[in-house]
Each structure stands twice: as C-alpha cells, then as structure tokens.
C-alpha cells in the first residue's frame, strides 16, 4: 500500500533493446528513480516497443557487415561505439562490443517484454528489459536467439515456455510501434506519460529528476 504522501508516476519508455542510448538511458533513469523515491515519488515503468531495424532477417545479421553498411564504414561504426562506451561508463552501462558478433532482430524480444507486462506488470517487465540490455551489450548475446530469450525470461521470474507464449503478441508489438510512430516518435529512447508524448532522448540523472519532479508537483 502506498503512503498517502507518495506520488506515483507511470512513465512509458519507448525503446529498442539493441539501442545503446536506451541502455545508457536506463542506467541513468535507475539513478534518478532512486533519488525520486527519497522524495516520495514512485516511478512505474512500462516498456513500449520500437524496432530500429525491423527489416533484418529473423535471426539477425553479422554485426560488422550490418553496421558497416548502415553507417558508411566500419570505422564510422567504431567511432559511434566509442561514444556510447564513454557515455555509459560513469552510469554503469557496460559495453563489451568485442563480444558482439550479431545485430539482433528484436521482434521476438519485444513480444516477450509485452508478455512480461501482461503477466507481471512493471516490475517483471523492467527486470526483463534490464536483463536484455545486459545480455546484449555487456555479454554479447544474440537477442534473436529464442534459447537466449527463454533463459532471460526464466531468470527474470517468468514461467517456462515464455517465448512460445509470447509469439501471438507479434502483431500487438507492431501495432504499438505504429501507434507511437503516429504520435511522432522517430528515435529512441522517447518517453510518454499516461499515453501522451512527454520528451525524447536519454538524460543525465539530474535531467530525469527535474522532468519527473515537475510532473509530480503538478499532480500534487
């Protein structure tokens, strides 16, 4: 039961689990949420799907080949990686790009996240999203691999056969993606509050605290 002086904010995070700035934003937001909790503000997250590369093959693609084509050259891709590594380090977002060999297709991952929301709400879905970011960026695992996804799901606390249960949600994922795109989302992370666009781009912890404190004050 919430204390009477606690304000609950429902923040929706539009993200892809292979987006480095979404991972960085998650780690920064974690710090902000801890600060806000001390101010009587409880932030409940919902992760909304956005596929950066929806036309990838279902089993993903060789990372070097994909990123060399996407960013003009492998050298350009490495420079982008270096910026993410530097930005993530002070926040605890650990990138081990040397372990990555695949750029993952993420429809199955997003469907699993939707199932986690339906079966366990914010806490389960957020725990799974965090596990996916860590698996992909820190451990170099392939989120196209259903075996990897099943292991992450059970590790987060979902019942066995979660990937199979999530398969019927593929259409819902695509519908949710289309809805946020109609609302104007063109890049991630982007943030909604109560299904309405809020702001775009990852913030430092103080930035998240400032934005969310303003909303809480207005609600109070």
**Class of the 7-219 domain?**
alpha beta
Instruction: Quote the pLDDT of residue 3.
Output: 46
Instruction: Quote the pLDDT of residue 4.
Output: 55
Q: How far is CA 52 from CA 49, 134, 201, in A?
A: 10, 18, 15
Identify the bridge partners of residue 200 per DSSP, sorted by sequence position.
190
Instruction: Quote the pLDDT of residue 25.
Output: 98
Instruction: Quote the pLDDT of residue 9.
Output: 97
Cβ pair 191, 26 in contact under 8 A: no
Tokens standing for 137? 């960026």
Tokens standing for 110? 């997003």
Mean per-residue pLDDT pooled into runs of 10, the chain (220 residues) = 74 98 98 97 98 96 96 96 97 97 98 98 98 98 98 98 98 97 96 94 97 93
Instruction: Quote the pLDDT of residue 34.
Output: 97
> Domain ranges in the chain?
7-219
What's the length of the chain?
220
């Amino acid at each position: 039961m919430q204390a009477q002086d606690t304000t609950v904010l429902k923040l929706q995070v539009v993200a892809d689990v292979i987006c480095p700035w979404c991972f960085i934003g998650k780690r920064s937001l974690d710090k902000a949420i801890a600060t806000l909790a001390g101010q009587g503000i409880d932030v409940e997250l919902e992760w909304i799907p956005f596929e950066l590369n929806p036309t990838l093959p279902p089993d993903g693609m060789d990372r070097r080949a994909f990123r060399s084509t996407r960013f003009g050259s492998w050298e350009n891709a490495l420079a982008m990686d270096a910026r993410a590594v530097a930005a993530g380090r002070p926040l605890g977002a650990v990138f081990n790009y040397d372990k990555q060999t695949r750029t993952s297709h993420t429809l199955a991952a997003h469907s699993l996240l939707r199932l986690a929301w339906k079966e366990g709400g914010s806490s389960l879905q957020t725990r799974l999203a965090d596990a996916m970011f860590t698996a992909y960026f820190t451990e170099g695992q392939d989120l196209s691999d259903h075996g990897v996804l099943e292991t992450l799901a059970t590790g987060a606390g979902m019942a066995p056969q979660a990937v199979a249960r999530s398969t019927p949600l593929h259409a819902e994922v695509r519908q949710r993606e289309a809805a946020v795109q109609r609302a104007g989302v063109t890049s991630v992370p982007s943030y909604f509050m109560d299904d309405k666009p809020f702001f775009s781009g990852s913030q430092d912890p103080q930035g998240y605290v400032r934005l969310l404190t303003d909303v809480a004050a207005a609600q109070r």
